[in-house]
Amino acid sequence: MLRAAGVGVGDEVVVPAFGNVEVAESVVLAGALPVFADIDPVTYCLDVAAVEAAVTPRTAAVVVVHRFGRRADLAALRGVGQRHGLLVLEQGESEAPYGEVAQRRERAAYLDGKLKGVRTPDGGDGHTYQQYVVRVPGNGRPDRDAFARALRGRGVECRVPVKTPVHRLPEFRRCVSLRETELAADETLALPVDASLTKRDMQRVVGACNALGGLLQAAL
């Protein structure tokens, strides 16, 4: 899409650094330079003000990535594109069947009401819970990684959604401060909400998390 739109050598393309190294790689393959903008801490998608601040005379496009089942503020980002004459492209997530989404939402609502010691996701704007991502605010001890190890030790599958932001990878390293991106990479943890999970499975998730929750009070 970038090539078809004429984006190439000498152009800049604003992209998120929170995950999806493939987006930055695609910009490079088109001959352009990826410019990283910070994310909104609620949706984990590109922050509108950060995108506007990243625009330069060389900016040709913005690639918007929807994240974890939450959609970016596409209307506002398109507004930025219109003001600056930029192409705004989307990278969506695969759509799950309605019944599966409903089941994920049901499990997410259960976790919202039961979990302690972690920050649960904001469910606004039609969240489909492709991933149920909590925040484990850390003061270094215990941190998100220790929390994840302890959960796995209790039989709960969990995963760190973004281990290293793209702007910190060797091939894309930039001297840029993306505070929300870096905080999210340090604090986020995806808990299971798959439609296949039983009530007992969900109780196990809650029990394991809440057994560790007291350890986090100082960090909160």
pLDDT tens per residue across span 163-209: 999 999 999 987 788 999 999 999 999 999 998 999 999 999 999 99
- Alpha-carbon distance of 140 to 13, in angstroms, equals 35
On the 0-12 / 13-18 / 19+ scale of CB atoms within 10 A, 92 is exposed
- Alpha-carbon distance of 202 to 217, in angstroms, equals 23
Percent of the chain exceeding pLDDT 90 equals 78
Q: What is the pLDDT of residue 213?
A: 66
Q: Give the phi and the psi of residue 40 in degrees, each rounded to 5.
A: -80, 130
Q: Give the phi and the psi of residue 81 in degrees, each rounded to 5.
A: -60, -40
- DSSP, collapsed to helix, strand or coil, labels residue 80 as helix
Q: What is the pLDDT of residue 94?
A: 75
- Alpha-carbon distance of 76 to 62, in angstroms, equals 12
Amino acid at 33: L
Nearest C-alpha neighbor of 156 from the set 195, 218, 204: 204
- Alpha-carbon distance of 134 to 28, in angstroms, equals 32
Omega within 30 of 0 (cis) for the link into 142: yes
- DSSP, collapsed to helix, strand or coil, labels residue 202 as helix
pTM higher than 0.75 for the full model?
A: yes
Q: Residue for token digits 């060797």? A: 170
User: Both tokens of residue 2?
Assistant: 């970038």
Between 138 and 12, the more confident residue is 12
Between 123 and 104, the more confident residue is 104
